[in-house]
């Protein structure tokens, strides 16, 4: 069960309720599973999302295990016995391209978890055994020369298997383009079956154990992660560390360093910053009609609502809200009761929100992250001077509003752009997540932004962008609009026809994007 809320607050961005109430959901799910569904893995404690958001291997390992400690403590506080739930805690790691580092990370995870669990005095050996699922990295996969991604995923899958993962997910080669097609999903699946059934490498437990290099790397990883976990503990544990913004800041710094290393050519990405083919070659990309999906879902909801007994639904939702308010009873048990009476996920979520309210967060810029990662690079200075010229001429810096709209929690790209543009001298505002196009247009008018930079990765650009353009027009705003994120090439012309001036997809060099955008801003005196 993907019941790990701390990584949502940190990097995945799908949360509704405040942290304390959210932690209660986690503990109640663990408790309900221990009592009624003992063979379910009651939580998947995830580092995957951290690496995908930019964390390095030590950060991913340390923050994940520190999250695990927090969940054990939350479950113990509800009176559960450690041996009743700990064997069913499950972990989830990301496997990137740094092959031996990833093998060492998985080996270090098992050593550290057994060590960390000692403080809870478990009696069953299974309570201290770290079991994991691994997924190959999505962010390592590129839109450029996309068949290279089959090779990347194979290398990553091998690291997962040699590191001893219990289960594995392999991504499709069209990861940076759209949701997978049946063909790309088959290749991803077959990457696993070939490893599992042809290569014979799964026959040996820990086959790299004893290699000097791997043992050294594992020991170093244990040491470095132990230090970082200790740092988190000093802050009062992961919930407190997240409230203070510590893990997010570290991850953002690592993300900025990686972006700068790729742009400076220090980290090779084949087909992106080295060995660029003349033609990337188009691959078939899955197309989904958002309106059709929405209409079909609304129809199904209407059918369910028409067939159910509303009075029993209302009673079940009231009972759930009471459990939420009084802390008596189990939240998952009460939610299952409501679902069995055909309450919808939306209604169940609303019942909890009525009791607890909504957790609202505002994104903050992290000044200096990008410029220090970039160092004294010539290209960085050139773009900064270009922006300085604008400021001197116009008496103000050029302003950019970086916008996230719709159900899209991907903010790594938006943050990378916002922090980099800010360090380059733009006046940047980063929107909160999940704006409607109307809200985005209104805020653009309020701040008088020169540029609206839409960052869109969830496949809703063909719905949200035209709506934003209309709303901007209605308000008489003439800001330059550009888009970035995962936008299949076949949709580019559609967006350009809507009035979008440029599209910056995955693999965009930020300095080049900043320079291109500068040239689009009219300015009174330029
Ligand atoms: C990292 C990632 C995640 C991370 C996000 C972490 C975070 N905090 O951002 C995690 C693991 C949490 C995640 C979760 C999910 N993801 Co995801 N994710 C990705 C991934 C692998 C990389 C995106 C990324 O961060 N790249 C690195 C940044 C730096 O690049 P970027 O955003 O592209 O930005 C660059 C350019 O695009 C451009 N740019 C971007 N914005 C802007 C704005 C301006 C103004 C400018 C000038 C330029 C610009 O410049 C940037 C620098 O180069 C993509 C696939 C891919 N390889 O692109 C899938 C992808 C976006 N995810 C996808 C999905 C489905 C999901 C989930 C729904 C999966 C699930 N079922 O749980 C969830 C949704 C979470 C949510 N709350 O919305 C799909 C979306 C499908 C679609 N578009 O049709 C994708 C495309 C993968 C796929 N093919 O299936 N994901």
User: Mean pLDDT over residues 172-201, rounded?
Assistant: 98
493 to 60, 334, 353, 454, 481: CA distances (angstroms): 39, 49, 41, 16, 14
Q: Whose CA is nearest to atom 6 of ligand 1?
A: 53
Ligand 1 pocket mutation pick from 405, 457, 482 by most atoms within 8 angstroms of CB: 457
Q: Whose CA is nearest to atom 17 of ligand 1?
A: 410
Q: What is the pLDDT of residues 85-98, one digit of tens each?
A: 999 999 999 999 99
178 Cα–ligand 1 center, Å: 10
- Indicate if the pLDDT at residue 522 is higher than 90: no
Q: What is the pLDDT of residues 234-250, one digit of tens each?
A: 999 999 999 999 999 99
User: Mean pLDDT over residues 379-405, rounded?
Assistant: 95
- Please tell me the predicted confidence (pLDDT) of residue 465: 98
- Please tell me the predicted confidence (pLDDT) of residue 374: 84
Least confident range of 223-237, 291-305, 373-387: 373-387
Helix (H, G, I), strand (E, B) or coil at 139: coil
457 Cα–ligand 1 center, Å: 5
User: What tokens were used for 139?
Assistant: 């962010």
Helix (H, G, I), strand (E, B) or coil at 377: coil
Q: What is the pLDDT of residues 42-75, one digit of tens each?
A: 999 999 999 999 999 999 999 999 999 999 999 9
Residue list, ligand 1 pocket, CB within 6 Å: 11-14, 49, 52-53, 138-139, 141, 175-176, 178-179, 402, 408-414, 416-417, 453, 455, 457-459, 482, 484-486, 504-508, 510, 513
Bridge-based pairing of strands 451-456 and 427-430 is unpaired
478 to 36, 129, 273, 453, 519: CA distances (angstroms): 59, 59, 35, 13, 16
Question: Which ligand 1 atom is the nearest neighbour of the CA of 255?
Answer: 29
Using a pLDDT cut of 70, give the percent of the chain over it.
99
- Indicate if the pLDDT at residue 187 is higher than 90: yes
- Please tell me the predicted confidence (pLDDT) of residue 226: 98
pLDDT bin (cut points 50, 70, 90) of residue 273 is very high
342 Cα–ligand 1 center, Å: 33
User: How many helices (H) and strands (E) in the chain?
Assistant: 22, 9
Q: Whose CA is nearest to atom 32 of ligand 1?
A: 413
Question: Which ligand 1 atom is the nearest neighbour of the CA of 12?
Answer: 12
Q: Whose CA is nearest to atom 63 of ligand 1?
A: 458
Question: Which ligand 1 atom is the nearest neighbour of the CA of 11?
Answer: 8
- The 8-class DSSP code of residue 11 comes to I
Question: Which ligand 1 atom is the nearest neighbour of the CA of 517?
Answer: 47
173 Cα–ligand 1 center, Å: 15
Q: Whose CA is nearest to atom 20 of ligand 1?
A: 139
Contact 143, 152 (CB under 8 A): no
CB-side exposure of 278: number of CA atoms within 13 Å?
A: 0
Q: What is the pLDDT of residues 312-362, one digit of tens each?
A: 999 999 999 999 999 899 999 999 999 999 999 999 999 999 999 999 888
Residue 202 CB neighbours (<10 A): 12
Q: Whose CA is nearest to atom 29 of ligand 1?
A: 413
- Indicate if the pLDDT at residue 281 is higher than 80: no
In angstroms, the CA 503 to CA 485 distance is 8
- Indicate if the pLDDT at residue 526 is higher than 80: no
Q: Whose CA is nearest to atom 12 of ligand 1?
A: 12
In angstroms, the CA 59 to CA 247 distance is 8
Ligand 1 pocket mutation pick from 410, 462, 503 by most atoms within 8 angstroms of CB: 410
289 to 178, 296, 426, 459: CA distances (angstroms): 13, 11, 36, 10
Percent of residues in the chain assigned helix, strand, coil, to nearest 5? 55, 10, 35
Helix (H, G, I), strand (E, B) or coil at 427: strand
In angstroms, the CA 433 to CA 18 distance is 16
pLDDT bin (cut points 50, 70, 90) of residue 373 is confident
369 to 25, 249, 427: CA distances (angstroms): 35, 9, 16
- Please tell me the predicted confidence (pLDDT) of residue 71: 97
Whole-number average pLDDT of the chain: 96
Contact 105, 217 (CB under 8 A): no
- Please tell me the predicted confidence (pLDDT) of residue 449: 97
410 Cα–ligand 1 center, Å: 5
78 to 9, 30, 221, 327, 393: CA distances (angstroms): 22, 10, 33, 11, 63
Of the chain, the end-to-end C-alpha distance in Å amounts to 57
Q: In what order do the strands lie in the sheet with 427-430?
A: 427-430, 399-403, 451-456, 480-485, 502-504
- Indicate if the pLDDT at residue 279 is higher than 90: no
Transcribe 484-507 into DSSP letters.
EES--GGGHHHHHHTT--EEE-TT
Using a pLDDT cut of 90, give the percent of the chain over it.
95
Q: Whose CA is nearest to atom 70 of ligand 1?
A: 12
- Indicate if the pLDDT at residue 35 is higher than 80: yes
Q: Whose CA is nearest to atom 1 of ligand 1?
A: 52
- The 8-class DSSP code of residue 322 comes to H
| Helix boundaries (H) for 425-498 | 437-447, 461-474, 492-497
- Indicate if the pLDDT at residue 510 is higher than 80: yes
Ligand 1 pocket mutation pick from 6, 259, 461, 486 by most atoms within 8 angstroms of CB: 486
Least confident range of 225-234, 282-291, 432-441: 282-291
Question: Which ligand 1 atom is the nearest neighbour of the CA of 412?
Answer: 9
């Amino acid at each position: 069960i993907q019941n790990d809320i701390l990584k949502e607050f940190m990097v995945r961005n799908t949360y509704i309720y405040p942290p304390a109430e959210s932690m209660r959901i986690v503990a109640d799910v663990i408790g309900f599973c221990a009592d009624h569904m003992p063979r379910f893995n009651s939580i998947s404690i995830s580092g995957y999302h951290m690496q995908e958001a930019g964390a390095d291997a030590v950060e991913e390992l340390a923050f994940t295990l520190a999250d695990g400690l927090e969940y054990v403590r939350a479950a113990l506080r509800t009176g559960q016995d450690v041996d009743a739930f700990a064997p069913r805690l499950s972990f989830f790691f990301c496997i990137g391209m740094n092959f031996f580092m990833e093998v060492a990370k998985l080996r270090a995870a098992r050593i550290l978890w057994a060590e960390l669990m000692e403080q809870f005095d478990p009696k069953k050996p299974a309570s201290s055994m770290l079991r994991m699922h691994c997924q190959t990295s999505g962010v390592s996969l590129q839109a450029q020369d996309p068949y290279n991604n089959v090779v990347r995923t194979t290398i990553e899958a091998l690291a997962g298997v040699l590191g001893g993962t219990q289960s594995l997910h392999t991504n499709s080669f069209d990861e940076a383009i759209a949701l997978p097609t049946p063909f790309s999903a088959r290749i991803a699946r077959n990457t696993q079956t070939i490893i599992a059934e042809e290569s014979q490498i799964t026959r040996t437990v820990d086959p790299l154990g004893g290699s000097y290099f791997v043992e050294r790397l594992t020991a170093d990883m244990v040491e470095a992660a132990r230090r970082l976990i200790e740092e988190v503990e000093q802050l009062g544990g992961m919930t407190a560390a997240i409230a203070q913004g510590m893990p997010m800041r570290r991850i953002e710094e690592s993300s900025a360093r990686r972006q700068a290393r790729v742009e400076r050519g220090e980290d090779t990405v084949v087909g992106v910053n080295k060995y660029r083919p003349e033609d990337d070659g188009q691959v078939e990309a899955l197309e989904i009609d958002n309106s059709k999906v929405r209409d079909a879902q609304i129809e199904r909801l209407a059918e369910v609502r028409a067939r159910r007994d509303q009075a029993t639904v209302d009673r079940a939702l009231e009972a759930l809200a009471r459990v939420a308010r009084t802390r008596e009873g189990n939240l998952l048990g009460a939610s299952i009761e409501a679902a069995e009476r055909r309450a919808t996920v939306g209604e169940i979520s609303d019942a909890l929100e009525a009791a607890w309210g909504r957790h609202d967060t505002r994104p903050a810029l992290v000044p200096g992250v990008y410029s220090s990662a970039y160092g004294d690079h010539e290209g960085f200075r050139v773009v900064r001077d270009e922006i300085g010229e604008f400021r001197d001429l116009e008496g103000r810096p050029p302003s950019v509003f970086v916008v996230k709209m719709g159900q899209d929690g991907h903010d790594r790209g938006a943050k990378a752009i916002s922090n980099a543009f800010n360090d380059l001298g733009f006046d940047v505002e980063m929107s909160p997540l999940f704006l409607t196009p109307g809200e985005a247009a209104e805020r653009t008018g309020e701040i008088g932004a020169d540029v609206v930079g839409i960052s869109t990765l969830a496949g809703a650009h063909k719905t949200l962008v035209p709506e934003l353009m209309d709303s901007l027009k209605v308000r008489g705003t003439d800001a330059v609009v550009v888009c970035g994120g995962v936008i299949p090439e076949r949709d580019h012309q559609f967006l350009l026809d809507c009035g979008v001036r440029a599209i910056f997809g995955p693999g965009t060099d930020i300095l080049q994007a900043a320079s291109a955008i500068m040239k689009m801003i009219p300015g009174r005196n330029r």
